[in-house]
Chain A
Amino acid sequence: MFDIDQQLRQLLQALSDKKLISRDCLDEIEGHLRDEIDDLIANGSTPAESFAKASQSFGRPQDLVGEYHKLFGRSRLSQFLNVFSHYFDRRAVVKALVGLGLGSALMLAGLMLEGGHLSSIIDIAAFCLVAGATTGMSLLNLSWRQIVDAYSDALNGKPTEAAVFKRIGRNALSAGLVGAFSGIVQIVRNLSQPDQIGPALALALMCLLYGFLAYLIFGLGFETAVVTPNQRHTGFVPQKRSAFIVLALAAALYGSLRLGLGSTGIAQFLNLPAAITVVSGVLFVGGFARRFSLAHLPYLANGALSAGVIGVIFNVIHVMENLDKPQFVYIGLSVALLPGLYAALVAVTLRSIGHRLQCKAIGVNSDTMTPVLMPYYAAAAGALVLSTALVIYALSLSNTLSA
């Protein structure tokens, strides 16, 4: 039986062997030939006849290559630049790089303002663990070709399914968690040797940090790049009351922690590095958006949340580096939660506004839509448990200190 797909692959292979034709151009020609073959079949030709007619009207591959030679020159450099410019939409690449650059600068500024330093977030072992585990897990689910094509399409502005980026983002988060758990296992095994606990804890935190960073860039960022303006987000949509109750609880816990430490007033809730870190997450993701629309708001919210988690990890690392100064530790631990609190506030607000405006735009009553809440409530519950543990720990430290 005549296999059109195979015949088309052979024809396009003849072109791609000439190197001068980019994949972008080959995709365009393939779409053209398929349209033509479909039309011919619809008009009564057999698949074999249709393919023969379509490839005849296509002309000789060397003629097309000759035209490109005339157009873009014969030098290797001009060929490379042509192929490169067809693989990537330069404006999209520049915008994403600006977002990443600004986001990284702000994130580092947040770290520095909090008193940390660059060397405390560089860990080759954690990097290798997260990069290796993410790549390994991704290659179990996807082929190289799928991965390269998806990223290239996203950078080139082609409509692409976000599934590849979702999977890689989840794999990066899982790799971070695997690293964190392996660090915790080391801690538990070496409880009798306190000098072993520090490095194991550092490994656990750094793996988590790199996992979230990889998710932010290679998962969420690229998901944002392929969002279409009319896309409806099916994820978590906070209902005002419940979302703000969770936030108020977190704020009350934080307030009680600071109160226990002797601070009062609104100033205890203000923290510039935490705010900068959360904004950096929005910039990281926002840079990838092609034409900004309401559909991008949930992704920006997720960017803020991820940056909030990264900010909390930054702060905890910073505290761990100063364990010999108890006065610093309990203040540091209380401040450590602020990026998370800010991020939750920004995320809930962005999602609420985005959801309502989008429902208004498509003429749907926003109250009739069922939000998917479970994973987010689980995360909020986890954060509350962690906050409570930190409150108790910090208060006990404070008591020890005053005693």
Chain B
Amino acid sequence: MSLSKDLVAATAEPLVLSILARSESYGYALIKEVHALSGGRVAWTEGMLYPVLHRLEKQGFITATWKTSDVGRKRKYYALHKKGRARLADQLEEWDTAHATLLASRGGAHV
């Protein structure tokens, strides 16, 4: 089952930060990675991803550098900034809380 549009938008920021925490990456590679990680259930579009990347860059959570790829194509690589690492930790905590609350509401363990 694929995610709703609202949930895709809500998860975009923590997912981008989380992938960039492992290594720097660029737009197309991020879309492919999310597709692979979700087993094909989350399909991002450029129209959704680039505004998120540019907002995170503007807010100083990630940094961008233009580089030339192996095939000679110019690519903008994004990397996680120190500020972004703290933001990711906050977001993961929020998602853990939301997830635990949801489980508890269905009779699972309490928060």
Contact = CB atoms under 8 A, between A and B. Distances in A.
Interface in B38-62: 43, 45-48, 50-51, 54-55, 58
A25 B50 contact: yes
B68 interface: yes
A31 B46 contact: no
Contact of B50 (A35, A64, A153): A64
B68 A159 contact: yes
A5 to B, nearest CB: 14
B45 A25 contact: no
Interface residues of A, number: 29
A59 B75 CA distance: 21
A244 interface: no
A153 B74 CA distance: 11
A71 interface: yes
B55 A71 contact: yes
B5 to A, nearest CB: 11
B74 A32 contact: no
Contact of A35 (B45, B55, B73): B73
B66 A32 contact: no
A157 interface: yes
A367 interface: no
A59 B73 contact: no
Interface string A24-67: 11011101111110100000000000000000011110011001
Interface residues of B, number: 22
A32 B73 contact: no
Given A70-B51, A71-B54, A35 B46 contact: no
B51 A35 contact: no
B28 A68 contact: no
A156 B65 CA distance: 9
B74 A59 contact: no
Q: Which has the most chain B C-beta neighbours within 10 Å: A29, A33, A34, A35?
A: A35
Nearest to A56: B45
A103 to B, nearest CB: 26
Given A157-B65, A158-B74, A159-B68, A32 B47 contact: no
A212 B30 CA distance: 47
> Chain A binding site: helix, strand, loop or mixed by DSSP?
helix
Contacts of B83: none
Nearest to A60: B47
B47 A67 contact: yes
Contacts of B68: 159
Contacts of A64: 46-47, 50-51
B76 interface: yes
A86 B71 CA distance: 24
Nearest to A61: B47
Contact of B76 (A28, A59, A70, A71): A28
Contacts of A25: 50, 54
24 contacts: A24-B76, A25-B54, A28-B76, A29-B46, A31-B73, A31-B75, A35-B28, A57-B43, A57-B46, A58-B45, A58-B46, A59-B45, A59-B48, A63-B45, A67-B47, A68-B51, A70-B51, A71-B55, A71-B58, A85-B58, A156-B66, A157-B65, A157-B66, A158-B74
Interface of A: 24-25, 27-29, 31-36, 38, 57-60, 63-64, 67-68, 70-71, 85-86, 153, 156-159
Listed from nearest, the 9 A-B pairs whose CB atoms lie closest are A67-B51, A59-B47, A158-B66, A64-B47, A59-B45, A35-B28, A63-B47, A159-B68, A32-B28
